[in-house]
Structure 1
Amino acid sequence: MKTLFLLQLVSTFYMTGLIWFVQIVHYPLFALVGRARFTRYQQAHQLRTTIAVGPMMLTEAATTVAIVYWPPPGMGPAFTWTGVGLLFVVWFSTALLQVPRHQVLASRFSPRHIRSLVISNWLRTIAWTARSVLLLIYLAQIFPNK
């Protein structure tokens, strides 16, 4: 149970840090790539991003589901199910909002889709940040100040 929690903690913190970088730096810079090379850039971006995020997103998802069945000591259902709900927000946002915009951008440069990607990505940014806060609250409960 401790290992599950540590894997979830590491994967969630990794994804939270990464999503903030993507939100503040990476996605806004898409607009500066330029029309001429954008589709090639976007296709390479999708492949490399999958390599960077895929294993951690899958680890986070697997540990989130596992913790539903084997919660660590003191992690009640409210923590567990809030974490599950936030992860659903991340995955549904990815599938329904970000992936379709990336698919359009892989075929053509579109300032409108870039803006939409940046705006819609706030949903994932907030959800992952909330997951990290949730895990920090749990840590504070199991390691109280004395």
Structure 2
Amino acid sequence: MQIDLIRLLVDFGLFVLIWMVQLVVYPSFSYFSKQELINWHQLYTPRITLMVFPLMAGQLLTAIFQLAKDQDLFAVLSLIIIVGMWLLTFFIFVPTHNKITSEEVDDEICAKLVKFNWLRTAGWTFLFIWNFLQYYFR
């Protein structure tokens, strides 16, 4: 399978996943009591990580391979956006989820997840659409 198709499939996976998280998962957190959210979060985070991490790692690796192959605008800007998604994830989302894990739960945390996740939703949506157009209209 060629690297461009693998990348397109990974981008699609992240596109679907991030919209599900943005529209269903994070908003649902506000419907849990504090203790219910803490309990659910302990089950949720390892499970979602099993889906998110391989997709994010696959996207990063395929983008690096694409940049090594072609140093065009798509490859360069794509990798910059992907690195941005990793930075957002590890400097905003991981610490926020850690607060929930350590039982520092309030309405602001749930609102922060939804608010800041729009950045990742926009980034992964843009990457998927741009990659789709690149793949099919070259």
Please, what TM-score do these two structures have when normalized by structure 1? Answer: 0.88
Structure exhibiting the larger radius of gyration computed from Cα positions = 1
Q: How far is the alpha carbon of 1:80 from its aligned partner?
A: 0.7
Match of 1:139 in 2: 135
Q: How far is the alpha carbon of 1:36 from its aligned partner?
A: 2.4
Match of 1:123 in 2: 119
Aligned AA (1:98) = F
Match of 1:33 in 2: 32
Q: How far is the alpha carbon of 1:70 from its aligned partner?
A: 1.7
Does structure 1 residue 61 correspond to structure 2 residue 60? yes
Residues 5 and 135 of structure 2 are in contact (CA less than 8 Å); yes or no, is this contact kept in structure 1?
no
- Give the 4+ runs in structure 1 shifted more than 6 A: none
Find the residue that maps to 2:34 and give its secondary structure. coil
Task: State the distance in 2 between where 1:19 and 1:96 align.
Answer: 17
Task: State the distance in 2 between where 1:42 and 1:107 align.
Answer: 10
Aligned AA (1:102) = H
Instruction: Provide the aligned length of Structure 1 versus Structure 2.
Output: 137
Task: State the distance in 2 between where 1:123 and 1:84 align.
Answer: 16
Q: How far is the alpha carbon of 1:124 from its aligned partner?
A: 0.5
Residues 80-132 of structure 1 deviation map (CA, whole Å, 9 limit, x = unaligned): 11111111121111011111110001122221111011101111000001101
Task: State the distance in 1 between where 2:94 and 2:73 align.
Answer: 30
Alignment of 1:65-80 (within 5 A): 65-71=64-70, 77-80=72-75
Please, what TM-score do these two structures have when normalized by structure 2? Answer: 0.93
- Greater alpha carbon shift after TM alignment, 35-44 vs 116-125: 35-44
Q: CA RMSD in A?
A: 1.3
What is the identity percentage for the equivalent residue pairs of Structure 1 and Structure 2?
26
Name stretches of at least 5 consecutive residues in structure 2 with no aligned partner.
none
Match of 1:110 in 2: 106
Name stretches of at least 5 consecutive residues in structure 1 with no aligned partner.
none
